[in-house]
Amino acid sequence: MQEESRSISENVTWGQRKRFADGKVSLPYGQFLGYEKGKDGLPRIVESEAVTVRLIYRLFLEGKTQSGIAKHLTQSGVPTPSGKVKWPVSTVESILTNEKYKGDAMLQKTFTVDFLTKKKKVNEGEIPQYYVENSHPAVIEPEIFDIVQFEMKRRKEKGGHHSGASCFSSKLVCGECGHFYGSKVWHSTSKYRRTILQCNYKFKGSEKCGTPHFDEATLKQLFLNAFNQLITNKYEIMENCEMIKQVLTDNAALNSEAENLQSEIAVVTELIHQCVDENARSVIDQVEYQQRYNGLVARYEKAKNTLEKIEELRQARRVKREQLDAFLATLLRQDSVLIEFDETLWFAVMDKVTVYASMISSLLLGMVW
């Protein structure tokens, strides 16, 4: 019986790897939002579910965290991929990072290590992996998917400060010390209990920060006042924003530099191959060979590292373009002044709020630019 199980397992594994090598994608459709198995055996988009996937990506780019998105979906009554009511943060994280939503597929991410218990582990190079581009229809545009990965990396590099506790978390910055504002509870055990927003490092430095604290009601009203001022001059502001966008998101010079570096990398790669081939075919001074080889490798690494930095800059500008486009679209749709605070609007137009000590009754609202 044990040998029979082993034989079946090996046959199934061989069949799976053959499909992987052929670039054929199969998904756990019962647990995978946005796709179903098509008649040709490949993933087919389920539009009613794809709407939720696109919403998750949009909310993330508007500034919400994975936990904030999970909370929003749960409160909105949107079912999880498995049909449950409560959204785990890990499910949102998985949807935001799974390359299959942009139409690609990394195959054999995990493999079975025990054919009897069916125990699996993450593939860390033990067996071949296959990355298939354009293997099936994309729910998310590839550029948007890549922008989300860039934004996720950027938030992590901020040192974990991007919080989703409230819509004001990770948005308010102290103009003196540069640290974020956070929620503080005053008079927690009395009838005078209140929650305020205050610089997290107000009392931690050698000198106390002079920036003021605010309650959420005050901040919401200040946002309403500022946004309504934008509405009254929105067409002039939109025209100026379009000009700013052209300057901030122009990648022409970076694209040209990237092309030159790619050519340099191709040339140096060929020179390295020639160098190694020459050393293999003829007797040459090994000290001279090593110096020549090391020089070419250093030249290759320099070009490669510079290209990576340029790609990061290009991606950052793509993110900025998406943010500005979202801001302009939001502004265009808004025809009347706001009467009540709109959290979705706050996320759509706000990048950060910098609070200064002199701003006792007003805030400098830093929009997406």
pLDDT in tens, 143-169: 889 888 888 887 787 654 445 556 776
CATH fold for the domain made of 2-157 = Hect, E3 ligase catalytic domain fold (3.90.1750)
Q: Which of 164, 165, 182, 183 is nearest to 173 (CA)?
A: 182
Averaged pLDDT score across all residues of the chain: 80
Residue range 325-346: mean pLDDT, rounded = 80
What is residue 113's three-state secondary structure? strand
Distance CA 279, CA 221 (A): 74
pLDDT in tens, 210-268: 888 888 888 888 888 888 888 888 888 888 888 888 888 888 999 999 999 999 999 99
CATH class of 165-369: mainly alpha
User: What's the token pair of residue 271?
Assistant: 């020179």
Q: Where in the chain is the domain with CATH 3.90.1750.20?
A: 2-157
First to last CA, the chain: 67
Q: Bridge-partner residues for 198, per DSSP?
A: 182
Q: Indicate the DSSP class of residue 78.
A: P
Q: Which pLDDT score, from 0 to 100, does residue 283 have?
A: 85
Q: Where in the chain is the domain with CATH 1.10.287?
A: 165-369
pLDDT in tens, 15-45: 444 454 455 677 788 888 999 988 888 889 9
Q: Which ranges in 62-111 belong to alpha helices (H)?
A: 66-75, 89-97
Task: Give the total residue count for the chain.
Answer: 369
Q: Between residues 275 and 364, which one has the greater pLDDT?
A: 275
Q: What is the 3-state secondary structure (H, E, C) of 253-280?
A: HHHHHHHHHHHHHHHHHHHHHHHHHHHH
Contact yes or no for 26/19 (Cβ under 8 A): yes
Q: What is the 3-state secondary structure (H, E, C) of 165-214?
A: CCCCCCCEEECCCCCEEEEEEECCCCCCCEEEEEECCCCCCCCCCCCCCE
Q: Which pLDDT score, from 0 to 100, does residue 16 have?
A: 47
Distance CA 130, CA 105 (A): 8
pLDDT in tens, 291-321: 999 999 999 999 999 999 998 888 888 877 8
Q: How confident is the model at residue 270 (pLDDT cuts 50, 70, 90)?
A: very high
Q: Which pLDDT score, from 0 to 100, does residue 369 have?
A: 42
- Scan for tokens 């309650």, then name that residue: 215
pLDDT in tens, 280-294: 898 889 999 999 999
Q: Which pLDDT score, from 0 to 100, does residue 238 have?
A: 84
For residue 125, pLDDT beyond 60: no
Q: Between residues 22 and 76, which one has the greater pLDDT?
A: 76
